[in-house]
Amino acid sequence: MESQVRIERYADQGRCVGHIDGRVVFVRFALPGELVRIALDEPHERTDRFWTGEVIEVIEPSEFRVTPAWELAGPLSQGGGVGGADLVHVSLPGQLAWKSDIINEQMERLGHAHTDVQVRRMPEDERLGGLHWRTRIEMIADEDGHPSMRRRGTHHRVALDTMPLATESVLRIAEETHFWDGGFAPGAQLRIAVPQSLPQSTEAIGSESVETPCAPSDAAQTSPGNDAIADGSAEVPAVQGEAEGFDDYAVMVDGELTAGEYLLKESVSIDGSTWNYRVNADGFWQIHREAPTALASHVLHAAQHALNGDDSACIWDLYSGAGLFTLPLATSTSKRTSMLSIEGSKPAVINARRNLRSLDLARVDARIGDVGAVLGNVPSHLSHPDVVVLDPPRAGARKKVCERIAAANPKAIVYVACDPTSLARDTATLSASGYGLRELSAYDLYPMTHHVESVAIFTR
Q: Residue 234: pLDDT above 70?
A: no
What is the b/e burial string over 171-185, where b = at least 16 CB atoms within 10 angstroms of the residue's CB?
bebbebbebeebebe
Q: What is the mean pLDDT of residues 26-49?
A: 89
Amino acid 214: pLDDT: 31
Measured between its terminal Cα atoms, the distance across the chain in Å is 53
Report the SS3 class of residue 314.
Answer: strand
What's the rounded mean pLDDT across residues 393-398? 97
Mind listing the pLDDT tens digit for each residue in 71-110? 999 999 999 999 999 999 999 999 999 999 999 999 999 9
pLDDT at 252 over 80: yes
pLDDT at 205: 53
Q: What is the mean pLDDT of residues 241-246?
A: 48
| 231 pLDDT more than 50 | no
Q: What is the pLDDT of residue 45?
A: 67
Are 397 and 371 contacting, i.e. CB atoms less than 8 angstroms apart?
Answer: yes
User: pLDDT tens, 293-335?
Assistant: 999 999 999 999 999 999 999 999 999 999 999 999 999 999 9
Residue 412, beta-bridge partner list: 387
**47 Cβ contact partners less than 8 Å away, ≥ 6 residues apart:** none
CA dist 163 and 173 (Å) reads 12
pLDDT at residue 394 is higher than 90: yes
Mean pLDDT value across residues 6-20: 96
- Model pLDDT for residues 192-203, shown as the tens digit of each residue: 999 986 443 334
* SS3 labels along the chain: CEEEEECCEECCCCEEEEEECCEEEEEECCCCCCEEEEEECCCCCCCCCEEEEEEEEEEECCCCECCCCCHHHCCHHHCCCCCCCCCCCECHHHHHHHHHHHHHHHHHHCCCCCCCCCCEECCCCCCCCCCCCECEEEEEECCCCCEEEECCCCCCEEECCCCCCECHHHHHHHHHCCHHHCCCCCCCEEEEECCCCCCCCCEEECHHHHCCCCCCCCCECCCCCCHHHCCCCCCCCCCCCCCCCCCCCEEEECCEEEEECCEEEEEEEECCEEEEEEEECCCCCCCECCHHHHHHHHHHHHHHHHHCCCCEEEEEEECCCCCCCHHHHHHHCCCEEEEEEEECCHHHHHHHHHHHHCCCCCCEEEEECCHHHHHHHCCHHHCCCCEEEECCCCCCCHHHHHHHHHHCCCCEEEEEECCHHHHHHHHHHHHHCCCEEEEEEEEECCCCCCCCEEEEEEEC
Model-level pTM? 0.90
Query: Among all residues, which ones are annotated catalytic?
Result: 418
Q: How does strand 189-193 pair with strand 250-253? A: antiparallel
Summarize the confidence of residues 29-43 as an average pLDDT. Answer: 94
What average pLDDT is seen over the chain? 90
Going by C-alpha positions, the residue among 151, 150, 137 that lies closest to residue 179 is 137
pLDDT of 440: 98
Please give the pLDDT value at position 246.
58
Percent of the chain with pLDDT over 90: 85
Q: Which uninterrupted H or E stretch holds 326?
A: helix 326-332
145-190 pLDDT tens trace: 999 999 998 999 999 999 999 999 999 999 999 999 999 999 999 9
13 vs 207, higher pLDDT? 13
User: Given this model, what pLDDT does residue 46 score?
Assistant: 64
Count of alpha carbons within 13 Å of 60, Cβ hemisphere only? 9
**Average pLDDT in the 413-430 region?**
98
Tell whether the model's pLDDT for residue 48 goes beyond 50: yes
pLDDT level of residue 247 (50, 70, 90 thresholds) = confident
pLDDT at 313: 98
Lowest average pLDDT, out of 126-130, 151-155, 279-283, 452-456, goes to 151-155
Q: What is the mean pLDDT of residues 330-352?
A: 97
